[in-house]
Chain A
Amino acid sequence: MEDLDQFREETRQWLDANCPASQRLPNTPEEQYWGGRRGRFASEDARVWFERMRDRGWTAPEWPAAYGGGGLTPQQGRVLKEEMKRIKARTPLYSLGLWMLGPALLEYGSEEQKQQHLRAIVNGEFRWCQGYSEPAAGSDLASLQTRAEDQGEHFLVNGSKIWTTGADRSDWIFCLVRTNPHVKKQEGISFLLIDMASPGVSTTPIELISGESEFCQTFFDNVRVPKSNLVGELNHGWSVAKALLVHERKLMAEIGGDSPRQEIAPVEAARRYLEFSAGRIADNQLRSDLADYEMRMHAIGLTHMRSFEERAAGIKGSVGLAMKYLGTEAVKDKNELLLAIMGTRALGWEAPGFTTEELDTTRLWAMSKAMTIAGGTSEVQLNVIANHVLQLPQAPKAATES
């Protein structure tokens, strides 16, 4: 404990000395640094902040130092997170490589793959995107049809992936591909790393109800991929994918603490947009709805803490499996609550006539609808809880594996 207090003190001092003032303000989507060959810093301060964090390995604080990470314990990693949050430090590097691929490579990658990719991820050299879903394989992910045929020296990949976030700005994609169409669907899938610069790879952006188009559809037309890019064993990609989905769901469960948009807190919105009488929100329905939401978030926050404490104590509990469902449903609730509290001020689509914050509220509300779909729908999450935690028998016919 004493060591941890000392670490906190040192971290606090280092952050105070090294995080530029401009990097402690909320950032816009345009100001996020995603790295990669096409990555651009929005300012000199953003570059300095990123490089200082990178040099300590603190873009990946808990990865082993041998691969460029910070080598921190989970407890120290938490302290760093808390201290960064305390001064509202921006995330220096946004990266699916950090959040998703890296942890999977640490577990399943060959030594050569770790050497090739992990440090490059820590340093933000390449931007990664994820190729899981396909137009005909959403919740039933294991039915994916993108083929990778063994051509001796390499795989030949044909097919397409959808919801590939930032694919048009990415350097590499980690993909689930079918390498054996003749066995049970989960058993013929492999996990493949593909250089987006390979001939035959193309992308098209998809416009969403929020007006954004960070998602793409990505096409593979006779793309040649070296066999050394296979992660884990041939036809064993489903295990890698499942491990990675756990990271994605954890990430989505924790989302909200670091939003690029100007997110207004419901209590703050209530103070600004609602009538108060004798220190209370005059509208009893909205007051009750706000209390419901705040109490739920309080409970969810405590449950994140419990989940962390259980992991630190080596207890393998069931709590993690419920967090994606609870967290993303709560984000949707929050956005509906903000619309109710702000009324027509939260329905503006474009300037003029609305503040940036108000316009962001509208867009975030539309974006929040994806939260309970991406990374496994809420319904799939409930299937997982029913089957894996409660051990209820599989539903007739429905393949609920995920």
Chain B
Amino acid sequence: MALVLNEEQRLLAETAREFLQKQAPVSALRALRDSRDPLGYDATLWQQMAELGWASVILPEEFGGLDFGFSGLGVVLQESGRTLTASPLFATAVVGASALLLGGSTAQKTEYLPQVAAGELTLALALEESPHHRPQHIATRLETAGDGFALSGEKVFVLDGHSADTLLVVARSSGDPGSRDGLSVVMVPRDTAGVAIERTVMADSRNTANIRFTDVAISGAQVIGTAGEAGTWLEDVLDRGRIALAAEMLGSVEEVFARTVAWLKERVQFGVPIGSFQALQHRAARLQAELELAQSVVLQALSTVDEQPRQLALMASLAKANLNELAKLATNEAVQMHGGIGVTDELEIGFFLKRARTAMQIFGDTGFHKDRYATLCGY
């Protein structure tokens, strides 16, 4: 019964919705934006989220985790998508935690995962080097130097890159850019010598940075797993991220669509609610039908992480491509159907529009995932 929430997940969703609607509604993101908050999220809020167990939903109990799996995490992400809540949830609790869980040595897991679970350690995956998601096109080098390594290169669009305690940097130990072989991921504390972080302000008011690494000294203990072998697990980490992001995007789409439908019932023109016009009804109904598909896809993808790892890549690409397309359509329709006020900053619809565009680029746009799906299916 992967496609229907169980009691545990329903309760978690309810708690998350209640908490986030109260503590971190869209207006909280607006306040962070307008005050140019240096951290870009509310540290107290993140502590509370960690106390609720959200930083550790996917972690095994031995590392202080809740062990609710991705199906559990999905409902929290979906709720945080509804409120567009800025927090380390994605970069730390999904991507960073998965990297340590899938790639880390026992010693690394034992040391760092309990800190993640407690909300004491935030992480950021420094991956991209170009305007598009190209996970194997890594030019950043990890070269042998003395007893350890030296790290050099430039990263862009690092989610939470300006705020995370530790950066997980994808670098190349060997091979040419484009090759899956020879990749490494190293843990670099933010204040390490040779690390230059430049915060970038983006349309969605969330947290990203460009980061330059110049001959940064790296010890063997900082390499996650074995140097040169990250290619074997990094793709699984990204797939988990893609699925988690799809769940967050689903929450945003549900919210923006609910607000749009409410507006169609409320706004009166020509003496009747505009929602009585068939031209708008059919567009809204098509969105509803698409939403039904997206809900099934996301639920299945989440449970795939927990239960059918062999389907992971296929389901991740299906989910991300599906939500990319739907997020674009739903936010564009939301703005258009709201009419004039849809393009004002006063209305929150614009926040959903902007977040959708950023989320669409994270870990692969529609073309990337359609191509990958086709390749996985052998055509």
B is bound to A: yes
- Residues on B with C-beta less than 8 A from A326 are 289, 292-293
Binds A, one of B84-92, B144-152, B203-211, B279-287: B279-287
Q: Is there a chain B Cβ closer than 8 Å to A390's Cβ?
A: yes
Assuming the contacts A299-B318, A303-B292, A322-B292, asked whether A287 and B284 have C-beta atoms less than 8 A apart, the reply is: no
A385 CB → nearest B CB, Å: 4
For B317, the closest partner residue in chain A by CB is: A295
Q: Give residues 344-358 of A contacting B (CB, 8 Å).
A: none
For A400, the closest partner residue in chain B by CB is: B278
Residues A390 and B3 in contact, CB atoms below 8 Å apart? no
A294 CB → nearest B CB, Å: 6
Assuming the contacts A395-B276, A395-B278, asked whether A309 and B292 have C-beta atoms less than 8 A apart, the reply is: no
Selected from A267, A310, A385, the residue in CB contact (under 8 A) with B377 is: A267
Binds A, one of B36-44, B230-238, B367-375: B367-375
Assuming the contacts A303-B296, A326-B292, asked whether A385 and B375 have C-beta atoms less than 8 A apart, the reply is: no
Assuming the contacts A287-B379, A325-B289, asked whether A394 and B278 have C-beta atoms less than 8 A apart, the reply is: no
Q: Is there a chain B Cβ closer than 8 Å to A373's Cβ?
A: no
Q: Give residues 254-278 of B contacting A (CB, 8 Å).
A: 261, 264-265, 272-273, 275-278
Residues B297 and A299 in contact, CB atoms below 8 Å apart? yes
Assuming the contacts A295-B322, A295-B370, A313-B1, asked whether A385 and B289 have C-beta atoms less than 8 A apart, the reply is: yes
Q: Is there a chain B Cβ closer than 8 Å to A386's Cβ?
A: yes
A313 CB → nearest B CB, Å: 5
Q: Is there a chain B Cβ closer than 8 Å to A288's Cβ?
A: yes
Q: Is there a chain A Cβ closer than 8 Å to B167's Cβ?
A: no
Complex CA distance for A302 and B322, rounded to whole angstroms: 13
Q: Is there a chain B Cβ closer than 8 Å to A315's Cβ?
A: yes
For A379, the closest partner residue in chain B by CB is: B282
For A308, the closest partner residue in chain B by CB is: B3
Residues B272 and A302 in contact, CB atoms below 8 Å apart? no
Complex CA distance for A386 and B279, rounded to whole angstroms: 11
Residues B289 and A386 in contact, CB atoms below 8 Å apart? no
Assuming the contacts A267-B379, A295-B321, A392-B281, asked whether A306 and B3 have C-beta atoms less than 8 A apart, the reply is: yes
Selected from B261, B289, B295, B373, the residue in CB contact (under 8 A) with A291 is: B373
Complex CA distance for A249 and B86, rounded to whole angstroms: 43
Residues A395 and B379 in contact, CB atoms below 8 Å apart? no
Residues B1 and A309 in contact, CB atoms below 8 Å apart? yes
- Residues on A with C-beta less than 8 A from B294 are 299
Selected from B277, B284, B318, the residue in CB contact (under 8 A) with A390 is: B284
Interface size on B, residues (CB 8 A): 39
Selected from B265, B275, B288, B373, the residue in CB contact (under 8 A) with A389 is: B288
Interface size on A, residues (CB 8 A): 48
Selected from B3, B276, B296, B375, the residue in CB contact (under 8 A) with A392 is: B276
Residues A386 and B292 in contact, CB atoms below 8 Å apart? no
Complex CA distance for A315 and B379, rounded to whole angstroms: 38
For A315, the closest partner residue in chain B by CB is: B4
Selected from A302, A315, A319, the residue in CB contact (under 8 A) with B300 is: A302
- Residues on B with C-beta less than 8 A from A80 are none
- Residues on B with C-beta less than 8 A from A315 are 4
Residues B374 and A280 in contact, CB atoms below 8 Å apart? yes
Residues B379 and A290 in contact, CB atoms below 8 Å apart? yes
B238 CB → nearest A CB, Å: 19
Complex CA distance for A300 and B322, rounded to whole angstroms: 12
Residues B281 and A382 in contact, CB atoms below 8 Å apart? yes
Complex CA distance for A326 and B277, rounded to whole angstroms: 22
Assuming the contacts A300-B293, A310-B4, asked whether A287 and B374 have C-beta atoms less than 8 A apart, the reply is: yes
Q: Chain B, 226-259, contact with A by CB distance < 8 Å: what is the 0/1 string?
A: 0000000000000000000000000000000000
Residues B281 and A395 in contact, CB atoms below 8 Å apart? yes
Q: Is there a chain A Cβ closer than 8 Å to B378's Cβ?
A: yes
- Residues on A with C-beta less than 8 A from B142 are none
Complex CA distance for A318 and B373, rounded to whole angstroms: 29
Residues B296 and A305 in contact, CB atoms below 8 Å apart? yes
- Residues on B with C-beta less than 8 A from A280 are 374-375, 379
With most chain A CB atoms within 10 A of its CB, the pick from B2, B3, B294 is B3
Complex CA distance for A288 and B370, rounded to whole angstroms: 7
With most chain A CB atoms within 10 A of its CB, the pick from B276, B293, B300 is B293
Complex CA distance for A379 and B279, rounded to whole angstroms: 11
Complex CA distance for A339 and B275, rounded to whole angstroms: 38
B residues sitting closer than 8 Å to A (CB atoms) are 1-4, 261, 264-265, 272-273, 275-278, 281-282, 284-286, 288-289, 292-297, 299-300, 318, 321-322, 370-371, 373-375, 377-379
Sample of 17 A–B contacts (CB below 8 Å):
A280-B374, A288-B370, A290-B379, A294-B377, A295-B370, A296-B293, A299-B293, A299-B294, A302-B293, A305-B296, A310-B3, A312-B1, A383-B282, A386-B281, A392-B284, A393-B273, A393-B276
18 new A-B contacts at CB < 8 Å, known A294-B373, A302-B300, A387-B281: A291-B379, A298-B318, A299-B293, A302-B3, A302-B296, A302-B297, A302-B299, A318-B292, A319-B295, A319-B296, A382-B285, A382-B286, A386-B284, A389-B285, A390-B288, A392-B275, A393-B275, A396-B272
Closest 7 CB pairs of A and B: A386-B281, A306-B3, A385-B285, A382-B285, A302-B296, A322-B289, A392-B275
